[in-house]
Structure 1
Amino acid sequence: MKSKYLIFVLLLIVSCKESKKAETSLVQQNKRPNTKENVSINKEEKLKSDSKIVEIGYQEKLDGLPHFELDSIDEAEYDRIPLSNSFKKNKIESNKDFFYIQGAKQKYEFKKYRDYKGDEGWSGFQYFGHCASLNLVAIQELSTADHLGFSEMKLLDASNDFQYKIISLGDSSVSVPELSPDGKYIVYFQNPEYESGDLSIVILEVSDKIDPTKFLTEYKSCFSKKGDSIEEIKWKSNNVFYIKAFKSVGFDQNGKELRDYFYYKAEI
């Protein structure tokens, strides 16, 4: 009888130990992080931190910026200011199908764009010049298919490999930007598309490159419903620029577009 009692006590002790062990194991298991989930989160965070693509110019952002106005000037006043281009088309390495841009740590290869003017689709890039003072290269990405065309402007910083993608508000890309004389601002525009489109003019503020994600930031904007399109922009001073705008009024007998021109001044 005594031996049976001892056996019962021993079994009870073992059972309690096993129960406690299982409980401890369960607690440890609950505290153990989900390895797959953590790896996924870490990859996402790494991708974000390693990304060198900065997107600029979303409609919602532009709508919330301070706006500036356009004032009419005459053609003679406009013509007194010489035209200059911040982005100059230097000779670059290229072959039949590709052109190349040397960045800070790598050489970039871009497939050349070809317009077949037909149903055949084609995607590629066009080189629009280099801004020496900012070390930015203007590159337009284009795509055509079924007689439809889409394009977007990108500025590649050759000093650190950051890319600044300027968001198109339509199917066509924005214009090649123009830098103010003091290098503090960049202006670009997007002409209206279809009959309902607005003319959009945007000023970007240029900062230092300590934080490349904030090197170019939206500063001011202007939206015009007059139906004008812009042919060219030129800076008069560090905070004033002139605009040559036009309206299409048809075509001559040779198919050449006829335009009425208008001239404006904008102060930022």
Structure 2
Amino acid sequence: MSPKIINILFILTLLISCNQNSAKESNKPKQSDSAPKKETVKAPVDNIKPSKGKKILVGYYDDYENLPQLVFDSVSEREFNKLKASKFLRSIKPKQKGNDFYVETAVRTHTFKKYKNYGEPKNWYGYQLKGIYPALKLFVLTKNSTADHLGFGELFLLDSVTDHQYLISSIGDGSVETPIPSPNNQYFVYYDNTMYELQNSDIRILKINDKENPEKYLTEYAYFNSTEFAVEQIIWKSDQCFYVKGYKQIYDESSGQWFKEFKYYRTNFN
């Protein structure tokens, strides 16, 4: 075969190869077509699944185990009654539609199912908005459900500014009691009375930190486990001192009735 013919065949081969590559490139999707479109983010109806890094779990027993234990002293009823409980939650009536209610933060609007009986399979299920801490700009919500005639719950705080959600670990089956902020919002104290014990309770303290680091906004600080009393009421006296109205359940055989025997306690911590 002559060199001229070889050159012609080589040029034809190059042209065919270039055309094929051009066709492949034209069939590829353009970057603007394949890039995901931004959509408005809404919280799922049935459970809370915020974007990564926004849901923070606090209050696990393991995190308290190596922390200082609170020490309580007995005080008189008269001393306890000198204290005045502060109103730390403000009630809110959220927007509602059908079985849903809405809580709006600076970032997005969250949609939650109302707590009610939905029949099988969920039965009683849903969320309740307990209010907002005005100074801290935190919503307080609980998620509740029932299964086999048992109730389950969890409490979480939703930051109206950062949109972070702080789920406070349940001590028993139900949610813990609403955390009570200290007078200058330096600490939260919360408790849970053991459902199956007459005079057992857990008292825990969370330190309230700077919101500039939202992941460390609430940190475990101190705790107390009581086998002597359940908690009826907690009142702060200062940011490092609070009082507890505790009780034991006593059964009166003569009347066949249970009644509460109250005792009062105080703790100071640094």
Q: Note the alpha carbon deviations across 1:34-53, whole angstroms, 9 max, x for none.
A: xxxxxxxxxxxxx9993201
- Asked if structure 2 preserves the Cα contact closer than 8 Å seen for 1:153 and 1:166, the reply is yes
**Inter-partner Cα distance in structure 2 for 1:97 and 1:256:** 40
1:43 aligns with: none
AA in 1 matched with 2:244: I
1:108 aligns with: 110
Q: Report 1:138-153 matches (<5 A).
A: 138-153=140-155
- Asked if structure 2 preserves the Cα contact closer than 8 Å seen for 1:87 and 1:137, the reply is no
Residues 215, 74 of structure 1: alpha-carbon distance in 2 compared, 3 angstrom cutoff: same
> Does 1:246 find its partner at 2:247?
yes
The Cα of 1:123 is off from its aligned counterpart by 1.7
AA in 1 matched with 2:183: P
Residues 73, 126 of structure 1: alpha-carbon distance in 2 compared, 3 angstrom cutoff: same
Q: Structure 1: which 5+ residue stretches go unaligned?
A: 1-46
Correspondent of 1:57 among 39, 42, 59? 59
1:235 aligns with: 236
AA in 2 matched with 1:167: S
- Asked if structure 2 preserves the Cα contact closer than 8 Å seen for 1:118 and 1:147, the reply is no
TM-score (normalised: structure 1): 0.74
Q: Report 1:61-140 matches (<5 A).
A: 61-95=63-97, 97-114=99-116, 121-140=123-142
Residues 155, 49 of structure 1: alpha-carbon distance in 2 compared, 3 angstrom cutoff: closer
Q: Report 1:148-159 matches (<5 A).
A: 148-159=150-161
AA in 1 matched with 2:194: P
2:260 aligns with: 259
Q: Note the alpha carbon deviations across 1:125-163, whole angstroms, 9 max, x for none.
A: 111110011100110110112211101110000101100
**Inter-partner Cα distance in structure 2 for 1:117 and 1:74:** 49
Show structure 1 runs of 4+ deviating over 4 A.
115-120
1:192 aligns with: 194
User: Paired residues, what number?
Assistant: 221
- Asked if structure 2 preserves the Cα contact closer than 8 Å seen for 1:128 and 1:138, the reply is yes
Q: Structure 2: which 5+ residue stretches go unaligned?
A: 1-48
- Which protein is richer in helix relative to its size? 1
The Cα of 1:95 is off from its aligned counterpart by 4.6
- Asked if structure 2 preserves the Cα contact closer than 8 Å seen for 1:85 and 1:178, the reply is no
- Asked if structure 2 preserves the Cα contact closer than 8 Å seen for 1:121 and 1:146, the reply is no
AA in 1 matched with 2:143: E
**Inter-partner Cα distance in structure 2 for 1:118 and 1:152:** 21
